[in-house]
């Protein structure tokens, strides 16, 4: 029997990119992530995949239903899987220790692929605008140098580097230029950086990302043509339609679906076998925010007009700045696809208002996860705020599947 293709996931977050590669048959050797709660999510998801392969998914479902503890769940899987999630910031001080941990898990010469992308704040346009120094001097600008150290040590056949669009222009392109030159200097042919849109792979969200793919060796390498998916589905009619109604602050940790599975949820495996939904949790809102949400929903749903902050009644305005960020309250489009989901949703829900006057609130944890195309049995550890942060930072699994399919083809053909 041919061994599975293996990979290391750097800056792994909650595992959205990894989920796509696991679905396509890749075997994770290690995930490296600095956030403790995201690491706990990764361990829980590894438990899911292990139990599923061993025909014991009922144990995982028992955990989702709170019938067993997380400790009991993790005890059902090999220690090596738990240890493969390395909770560490990748830095000059830590990298050698990370190498030793990964080396203890596998033969360092048998890594087929390295995936992942460093935190995006240093490259994002929003991050640069918010930072008084425009992110100059931020150490996250240069995390790609550590990525190259992993390439040097493990010599994978391919790598997949993911980041925000701002990478293409940050530092007047100096980071991108240095990055590509560095990857080439350690032995890789690098395809032209390419922007891919999550909408083209079944995700109901306008989310564009830069993908850089490299192949071992000097022979010229072009970015692969990914298999796109027709995407005529809608948020309200197809993605949210079977979830229970929520009030602000209401938390439905376990609930039955309100309607049968539809074609979209089945084909994308968002509903993938269990007969209940988890983490349908809404944040509470004060009366002022609820009044603003009502106005925003009415304008968008009934008139297709976005609310401008400066147009609010004076008694609802608390910010003196009425020239910038006028769209700080935004309703998710019910009849099309959502705007880009970001980690700021962990701080407030103003930019992700539920599109229905019968449910005046921001979207729930499960709704955010669905917008990112996570399956309903994907459990985010750490509570509501941590879950929102992990989801907002994630790579949509359906987009990751498209990348994994193509890399899988390349590796098998070569």
Quote the CA–CA distance of 5 and 10 in Å, as a whole number.
17
First-last CA distance in the chain: 18
Determine contact, residues 141/179, Cβ cutoff 8 Å.
no
CB distance 47 to 81 below 8 Å: yes
CA distances from 60 to 13, 75, 367, 372, 381 (A): 21, 12, 21, 22, 14
Q: How far is CA 297 from each of CA 193, 235, 339, rounded to the nearest angstrom?
A: 38, 15, 15
Nearest one of 401, 407, 408 to 198, comparing CA atoms: 401
CA–CA gap between residue 78 and residue 83 (Å, rounded) = 9
Q: How many CA atoms lie within 13 A of 339 on its CB side?
A: 16
DSSP H helices, 136-255, are 144-154, 174-185
Residues belonging to the active site? 120
């Amino acid at each position: 029997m041919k061994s599975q293709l293996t990979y290391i996931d750097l800056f792994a977050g909650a595992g959205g990119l990894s989920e796509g590669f696991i679905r396509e048959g890749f075997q994770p050797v290690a995930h490296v992530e600095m956030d403790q709660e995201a690491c706990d999510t990764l361990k829980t998801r590894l438990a899911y995949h292990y139990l599923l392969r061993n025909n014991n998914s009922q144990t995982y479902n028992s955990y989702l239903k709170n019938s067993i503890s997380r400790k009991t769940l993790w005890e059902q899987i090999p220690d090596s899987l738990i240890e493969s999630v390395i909770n560490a910031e990748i830095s000059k001080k830590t990298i050698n220790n990370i190498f030793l941990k990964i080396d203890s898990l596998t033969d360092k010469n048998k890594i087929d692929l390295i995936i992942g992308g460093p935190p995006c704040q240093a490259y994002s346009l929003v991050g640069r605008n918010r930072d008084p120094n425009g992110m100059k001097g931020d150490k996250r600008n240069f995390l790609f140098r550590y990525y190259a150290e992993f390439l040097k040590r493990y010599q994978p056949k391919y790598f997949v580097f993911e980041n925000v669009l701002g990478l293409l222009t940050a530092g007047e392109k100096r980071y991108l230029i240095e990055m590509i030159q560095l990857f080439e200097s350690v032995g890789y042919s690098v395809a032209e950086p390419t922007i891919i849109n999550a909408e083209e792979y079944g995700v109901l969200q306008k989310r564009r990302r830069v993908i850089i793919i490299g192949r071992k060796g000097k022979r010229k390498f072009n970015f692969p043509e990914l298999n796109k998916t027709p995407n005529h589905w809608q948020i309200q009619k197809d993605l949210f339609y079977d979830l229970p109604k929520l009030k602000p602050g209401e938390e439905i940790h376990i609930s039955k679906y309100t309607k049968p599975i539809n074609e979209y949820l089945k084909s994308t495996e968002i509903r993938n076998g269990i007969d209940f939904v988890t983490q349908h949790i809404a944040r509470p809102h004060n009366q002022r925010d609820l009044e603003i949400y009502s106005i925003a929903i009415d304008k968008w749903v009934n008139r297709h007009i976005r609310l401008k902050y400066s147009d609010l009644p004076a008694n609802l305005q608390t910010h003196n700045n009425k020239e910038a960020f006028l769209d700080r309250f935004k309703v998710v489009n019910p009849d099309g696809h959502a705007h880009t989901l970001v980690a700021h949703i962990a701080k407030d829900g103003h930019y992700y208002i539920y599109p229905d006057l019968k449910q005046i609130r921001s979207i729930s944890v499960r709704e955010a996860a669905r917008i990112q195309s996570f399956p309903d049995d994907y459990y985010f550890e750490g509570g509501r705020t941590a879950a929102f942060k992990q989801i907002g930072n994630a790579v949509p699994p359906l987009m990751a599947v498209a990348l994994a399919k193509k890399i899988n083809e390349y590796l098998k053909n070569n």
